[in-house]
Amino acid sequence: MMKKKLIAALLAATVAAGTMPSAGALLDGFTASRTYSNQFTDVPMNAWYYNSVKSAYNLGLVNGSSATTYSPNKEVTIAELYAMASRIHAAYYGNEIQPVDGAWFAPYVEYSQKYLDTGSHDNAYSYSDGVLVANLPAARWYFACILYAAVDPDEFNQLNHVLSGSIEDIDAIENEEVRDCIYTLYNAGILTGSDAYGTFHPDDGITRAEVAAIMARIIDPSQRKTFTLKDKPVTVSLANYVGEWYFNDWPDCGLGIEKIGNDYYLSLTIVQGKGYRFNGTLEPVKLINKGTYYESVRFDTMRATTAVARIRPEGNQLVVSCTEYGTSSLPLNMSGKYCSRR
């Protein structure tokens, strides 16, 4: 509930300012209600989005922009997003979308307000620079988070291994819960990014072709994608950080950078306190240059678990993320903590 309210608040602030190999059944509540007959002349059979449009249309999730067109390159509006998310949620949970007087999107605004808790009523009927917000393009981050909330998150089984901290423009999103939604959809094979590096472009609009693909992958797990992201070309170096120690006050931690031969190594200390129960100084672990950040090899902790650290130089600071594996409490998880030289 808190996540959905936070997403709604973030939207208000924004306005103001390889295929899975084995076929599987559709998610519960979804059956084909009609048959696509190639009536959209702007959806050629050789287009990458043809099967997605066909699937989404057959499931009643999308309609044409006219009787004979789909407008695949047109950006989806916030009103259209509420309509699509409402249709998915209603089918999945067996609800009905009740008629409401007003604009065509009024029933979907009311439904998403009630069941998705998106703050959609206030958002849709407000104005930004004289334009009704409902008619503005939906940002990609907002679209992803609303679609994430439309079904049970347990439906998003992990297919890929995309670590938090590995896609630069996702990590630049300030809210951690929004980042988690997006990374979950990457790992489930629903989002794939716009290039070989997984670049997301969170503030850009999203086209009707892209939306059809995303919705089809949510409802039909056989259409989800398996992929491995490429490392970006090298753009950062730790050369100026060797021999120094960097500290952060929450959690209490210190890290040092060493150079052995041609390789950089990380020394990491986590001090007990503030909810972090992992203690001790680790032996130096090797760092691999991933282009815009460094990632450690997986190392053993002193809690019978393993962890991976990601380091990004920024001015006189190191931005540190760390993920622990093998524990339900994940006490070593840090996301984007700034460590300063002392």
Higher per-residue pLDDT: 330 or 318: 318
Asked if residues 266 and 285 have their Cβ atoms less than 8 Å apart, the reply is: yes
Whether pLDDT at 278 is above 70: no
Give the residue-averaged pLDDT of 231-240: 79
pLDDT at 89: 94
DSSP 22-90: S--PPPTT----S---S--TTS-TTSTTHHHHHHHHHTTS---SSSS---TTSBPBHHHHHHHHHHHHH
Asked if residues 58 and 32 have their Cβ atoms less than 8 Å apart, the reply is: yes
pLDDT at 326: 64
pLDDT at 233: 72
Asked if residues 128 and 134 have their Cβ atoms less than 8 Å apart, the reply is: no
Residues linked to residue 257 through DSSP beta bridges, in sequence order: 242, 266
Q: Locate CATH 2.40.128.50 in the chain.
A: 239-341
Q: Could you tell me the CA-to-CA distances from 96 to 107, 122, 127, 219 in Å, in that order?
A: 10, 22, 29, 18
pLDDT at 197: 92
Higher per-residue pLDDT: 230 or 281: 230
3-class SS of residue 325: strand
Give percent above pLDDT 70 in the chain.
77
Residues 6+ apart with CB under 8 A from 61: 84, 87, 88, 212, 215, 219
Asked if residues 49 and 72 have their Cβ atoms less than 8 Å apart, the reply is: yes
pLDDT at 116: 85
Q: Could you tell me the CA-to-CA distances from 253 to 107, 271, 278, 279 in Å, in that order?
A: 51, 6, 10, 10
pLDDT digits (tens, 9 = 90+) for 141-197: 999 999 999 999 999 999 999 988 889 889 888 888 889 999 999 999 999 999 999
Architecture of domain 239-341: Beta Barrel (2.40)
Whether pLDDT at 206 is above 70: yes
pLDDT at 329: 42
Whether pLDDT at 32 is above 80: yes
User: Rounded CA gap, 62 and 22, in Å?
Assistant: 25
Say what the alpha-carbon torsion angle 299, 301, 305, 307 is, to the nearest 10 degrees.
-40
Mean pLDDT, the chain, as a whole number? 81
Confidence of residue 35 (pLDDT cuts 50, 70, 90): very high
Whether pLDDT at 241 is above 70: yes
User: Rounded CA gap, 153 and 186, in Å?
Assistant: 13
Whether pLDDT at 132 is above 70: yes
> DSSP strand E in the chain: where?
127-128, 131-132, 245-249, 252-260, 263-270, 280-281, 285-289, 294-296, 299-300, 306-314, 317-325, 334-341
Give the residue-averaged pLDDT of 285-294: 85
Q: Give the pTM.
A: 0.67
Q: Which of 262, 253, 318, 269 is nearest to 288 (CA)?
A: 262
Whether pLDDT at 106 is above 60: yes
Whether pLDDT at 273 is above 60: no
User: Residue written as tokens 């240059």?
Assistant: 289
pLDDT at 341: 59
